[in-house]
Amino acid sequence: MARYIFVTGGVVSSLGKGLTAASIGLLLERRGLKVGMQKLDPYINVDPGTMSPYQHGEVYVTSDGAETDLDLGHYERFTHSPITKNSNFTTGRIYLSVIEKERRGEYLGSTVQVVPHITNEIKSAILKMATHDLDVVITEVGGTVGDIESLPFLEAIRQFALEQGRDKVMFIHLTLVPYIRAAGELKTKPSQHSVAHLRQIGIQPDVLVCRTEVEMDDDMLGKLSLFCNVPREAVIEERDVRTTIYEVPLMLQEHGLDEIVVRRLQLPAGDLHLDDWREMVQTIKAVDEELTIAVCGKYIQLNDSYKSIYESLAHAGISQRVKVKLKKVDAEAVERDGARAHLAGVDGILIPGGFGHRGIQGKIEAIRFAREEGIPLFGICLGLQMLVIEFARNVCGLAPANSTEFEPECPVPVIDLMDEQKGVANKGGTMRLGAYPCTLKEGTLAHSLYGEARISERHRHRFEVNNRYRQLLSAKGLVFSGMYVEKDLVEIVEYPDHPWFLAVQFHPEFQSRPLTPHPIFKGFVRAAQQRARAAKSRASVAGERS
């Protein structure tokens, strides 16, 4: 019988609920428990797949092909929880399912209402996660307590605790304890109000996790305990971390959170094993070598748009013991000022995925610059498509080469809509999504990086390399080193006449973990490191001479 933990958030959004939930998951796993992680999102989109990255940040793709919230990326990076389409439910998905049932006549003539029909649907979504022999299911409730749209979810988890038994369910509330600089004081009032709101709905938090800038003293913790009706030892400080998010679980553990959860839910937990994680955090803090990777895309203003890519670069840096500094370069700025103005001096260039016409010329120029200057280049999804267009135009002399995504009547469509996409009209959930196998060609960079011939990676795209142009491209030196053989789709391309020039149609960033970085990211960062070291030693020789 699984136990359940619900993580809610109060006062403001962006408190790091996903990170906190993932950290709790990690601590419980490191005590020998099997953990499942799930997120409930209050918005009406059926999934975030149709939302702009500016609205929602990255869309995280699961191996079974669901387009989900980026917090699931934290769950996968911190834990081994099964992450599937059952790991993320939105209000839209819940309502869609209820309305479909109503149309099929499954409610037998009753009036369909928020309580009980929507709340029942939410409770069954939670139970869908409780398979897989899990000891604990951790469900994060998106949004902020007090929002109109969160209400059905809060009502559902209240009912859930009543039905399962209060001893099997735990409520953890993440709140903000703001520091008022002018008064030099921390303030508990917003937390008091948000807990009061939860209690009005019938939810008494068992644990209060307090996000704070400064250390909380005993008085403060005691005051929160008293006003929020939470035992003193269960009021936990979660201070802003300076160096790395991977420190959050260590901090929560120091305040005894794992033990509080284990005791409260009577979990069959063992001793805590966290040494490798601690060592990893120590490594991040200790490295002093640095390199710079330019990420050239169109959503660079927002940190969350390429979340998993940034994390994957950091993971590769940990294993290479080098700090990866990011230079976020707006592809439209490259279009305006030329590649050199923005990319000279970087040690590697990464072209991430994307949709639509804006900024593509800048990406093509960034790729040309990397190719001609011998700078390591890594393209992901749209990045691969841009690499192929650049190569067709500037190496193969096919000036009009383009993708039919940007130019439907293009005379040289080196990138074209996949056959299976022709005739697809709906936008939601209709791309080529999720994990597919890929076969690697022996003797290529891709094969040497993975060290095996058959891999599996996650996808999210509609367009592909047009097989009609493959021969022409390979005659000029482009190597198709990874293929989805079953459908003859290009998955990886590389250019051996260059220090490191490789692009993938899939999204490797969804499979990188801090302790097991992804092989392609590792190879890319290693190549960038070699370039940075070479530049440094050239500079020091020049310095000695002068």
Pairing of strands 412-417, 401-403: parallel
Least Å from the CB of residue 65 to ligand GLN: 13
The amino acid that residue 161 corresponds to is A
Closer to ligand GLN by CB, 205 or 362: give it.
362
Closer to ligand GLN by CB, 58 or 335: give it.
58
Tell me the residue number closest to ligand GLN, measured at CB: 353
Angle at alpha carbon of residue 448, lines to 456 and 475, rounded to 5°: 90
For residues 516 and 311, is the Cβ–Cβ distance under 8 A?
Answer: no
For residues 474 and 419, is the Cβ–Cβ distance under 8 A?
Answer: no
Closer to ligand GLN by CB, 314 or 490: give it.
490
The footprint of ligand GLN on residues 253-312 (CB under 6 A) is none
Distance, CA of 299 to chain centre: 15
The footprint of ligand GLN on residues 349-378 (CB under 6 A) is 353-355
- Residue 265, CB-side half-sphere exposure with 13 Å CA sphere: 29
User: How many residues form the binding site for ligand GLN (CB under 6 A)?
Assistant: 10
Q: Report the alpha-carbon distance of residue 368 to residue 177 in Å, rounded.
A: 49
Q: Report the alpha-carbon distance of residue 480 to residue 235 in Å, rounded.
A: 56
Output the six-digit token pair for 102.
């109503």
Least Å from the CB of residue 368 to ligand GLN: 19
Least Å from the CB of residue 355 to ligand GLN: 4
Provide CB contacts within 8 A for 183, sequence distance 6+.
none
Among 324, 381, 503, 504, binds ligand GLN (CB under 6 A): 381
The amino acid that residue 210 corresponds to is C
Q: Please state, in angstroms and as integers, the Cα–Cα distance from residue 506 to each residue in 12, 17, 159, 464, 495, following that order.
A: 35, 28, 41, 11, 18
Closer to ligand GLN by CB, 259 or 407: give it.
407
Output the six-digit token pair for 191.
């937390």
Q: Please identify which residue in the block is written with the tokens 């390399």.
A: 465
Radius of gyration of the chain (CA): 25
The footprint of ligand GLN on residues 194-233 (CB under 6 A) is none
Of the residues 173, 342, 507, 518, only one is catalytic, namely 507
Least Å from the CB of residue 5 to ligand GLN: 33
Least Å from the CB of residue 406 to ligand GLN: 9
Provide CB contacts within 8 A for 153, sequence distance 6+.
40, 42, 91, 122, 141, 143
Closer to ligand GLN by CB, 48 or 353: give it.
353
Closer to ligand GLN by CB, 171 or 521: give it.
521
Closer to ligand GLN by CB, 259 or 332: give it.
332
* DSSP class per residue in 222-233: HHHHHHHT--GG
Closer to ligand GLN by CB, 17 or 363: give it.
363
Tell me the three state secondary structure of residue 8.
strand
The 92-121 contact track toward ligand GLN, x by CB under 6 A, reads ------------------------------
Output the six-digit token pair for 319.
């294993």
The footprint of ligand GLN on residues 508-537 (CB under 6 A) is none
Least Å from the CB of residue 359 to ligand GLN: 12
Among 382, 398, 412, 528, binds ligand GLN (CB under 6 A): 382
**488, burial (CB in 10 Å: exposed 0-12, middle 13-18, buried 19+):** exposed
Least Å from the CB of residue 203 to ligand GLN: 39
Stretch that binds ligand GLN, among 162-170, 347-355, 362-370, 490-498 (CB under 6 A): 347-355
* Annotation marks residue 255 as catalytic: no
Least Å from the CB of residue 389 to ligand GLN: 12
Q: Report the alpha-carbon distance of residue 139 to residue 137 in Å, rounded.
A: 6
Among 47, 69, 390, 405, binds ligand GLN (CB under 6 A): 405
* Annotation marks residue 210 as catalytic: no
Of the residues 381, 461, 498, 518, only one is catalytic, namely 381
235 bridge partner residues: 208
* Annotation marks residue 507 as catalytic: yes
The footprint of ligand GLN on residues 451-510 (CB under 6 A) is 460-463
For residues 350 and 473, is the Cβ–Cβ distance under 8 A?
Answer: no
Residues designated as active site? 381, 507, 509
Which parts of this chain interact with ligand GLN (CB under 6 A)? 353-355, 381-382, 405, 460-463
